[in-house]
């Protein structure tokens, strides 16, 4: 079911991981951001848009995690964009002969049979440094950074004052670091870029979880920064997403536990966020 969060901006919520697909009204149709995650949900979204007479004219993936690069034939053949680094990452994945088996193996088992992979990751990379999404609709600013995943980007829909944050600023997941040379520093840089846009934002849509409004937007930024600073200082986290998670999301604490251990051990990696999401129902 579509829910309006601002003038000309709606969301469609997935059930299992509370993924938010963002729908932005343009002149001749809509932009879809981070479509997912099951075939049934994407078909529902397509039907809702069809009933409203809204064709899909563009898509965008904020980053190359499996649950952000999905698509369904019912949504049509609109161009699907990502940053240059995001699209390059997906090309590398799709160049592997056994990519489909590898992706399928990492899916949460309860949705594995209803997650369509035929159009998985088919992104058009925007030229490096592109600051505005090329589409016939309201201006959408691209805020690229290296936090969380290669080529991760937030989108600022300027006219509606909506920030689409990708996998950051969630109320159900703590910050999930990428495996870079400086994951803490890279994440803090990403947060600083989002903070720099905060004066232009009234509504925040995270990749997972609930929408934030007004002063809560900066509160989410500060919460994420405090968590990352605790990781850097090897302090026990008092983050509410760790100590008192949303009912039913207790399993997500494993993301924090794995990250804390990984950072303590340096380069040794015992579990990535995607591997933990694979066990979302356990």
- Residue 268 is predicted with a pLDDT of 47
Locate 270 and state its tokens: 């015992």
Interval 181-207 mean pLDDT: 97
* Number of neighbouring beta carbons within 10 Å of residue 8: 17
Residue 18, C-beta contacts closer than 8 angstroms, at least 6 positions apart: 172, 208, 209, 210
Q: What is the pLDDT of residues 76-113, one digit of tens each?
A: 999 999 999 999 999 999 999 999 999 999 999 999 99
Residue 123 has pLDDT above 70, yes or no: yes
Helix (H, G, I), strand (E, B) or coil at 66: helix
pLDDT above 80 (res 273): no
pLDDT digits (tens, 9 = 90+) for 221-243: 999 999 999 999 999 999 999 99
Q: What is the pLDDT of residues 40-53, one digit of tens each?
A: 999 999 999 999 99
Nearest alpha carbon to residue 237 among 255, 211, 217, 215? 255
Is residue 169 within 8 A of residue 188, CB to CB? The reply is no
DSSP readout, 221-242? Answer: HHHHHHHHHHHHTTPPP--HHH
Instruction: Give per-residue pLDDT as tens, 4-43.
Output: 999 999 999 999 999 999 999 999 999 999 998 999 999 9
> Which tokens belong to 124?
């058009």
pLDDT for 280 equals: 53
Q: Report the C-alpha gap between 231 and 237 in whole angstroms.
A: 8
Crossing angle for the helix pair 183-197 and 215-232, to the nearest 10 degrees: 170
Q: Which domains, from first to last, does the chain contain?
A: 2-128+144-277 (3.60.15.10)
pLDDT reported for residue 132: 98
């Amino acid at each position: 079911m579509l829910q309006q969060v601002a003038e000309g901006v709606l969301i469609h919520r997935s059930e299992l991981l509370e993924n938010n697909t963002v729908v932005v009204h343009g002149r001749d149709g809509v932009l879809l951001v981070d479509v997912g995650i099951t075939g049934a949900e994407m078909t529902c979204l397509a039907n809702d848009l069809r009933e409203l007479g809204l064709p899909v004219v563009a898509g965008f993936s904020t980053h190359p995690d499996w649950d952000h690069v999905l698509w369904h034939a019912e949504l049509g053949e609109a161009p699907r964009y990502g940053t240059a680094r995001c699209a390059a990452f997906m090309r590398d994945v799709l160049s592997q002969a056994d990519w489909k088996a590898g992706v399928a193996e990492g899916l949460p088992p309860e949705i594995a049979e209803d997650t369509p992979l035929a159009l998985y990751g088919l992104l058009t990379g925007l030229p490096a440094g592109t600051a505005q999404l090329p589409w016939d609709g309201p201006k959408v600013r691209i805020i690229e950074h290296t936090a969380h995943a290669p080529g991760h980007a937030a989108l600022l829909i300027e006219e509606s004052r909506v920030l689409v944050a990708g996998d950051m600023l969630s109320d159900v997941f703590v910050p999930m670091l990428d495996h870079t040379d400086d994951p803490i520093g890279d994440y803090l840089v990403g947060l600083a870029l989002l903070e720099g846009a905060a004066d232009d934002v009234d509504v925040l849509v995270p990749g997972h979880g609930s929408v934030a409004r007004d002063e809560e937007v900066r509160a989410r930024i500060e919460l994420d920064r405090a968590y990352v600073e605790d990781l850097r200082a090897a302090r026990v986290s008092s983050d509410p997403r760790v100590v008192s998670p949303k009912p039913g999301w207790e399993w997500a604490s494993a993301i924090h536990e794995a990250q804390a251990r990984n950072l303590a051990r340096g380069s040794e990696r015992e579990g990535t966020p995607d591997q933990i999401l694979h066990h979302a129902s356990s």
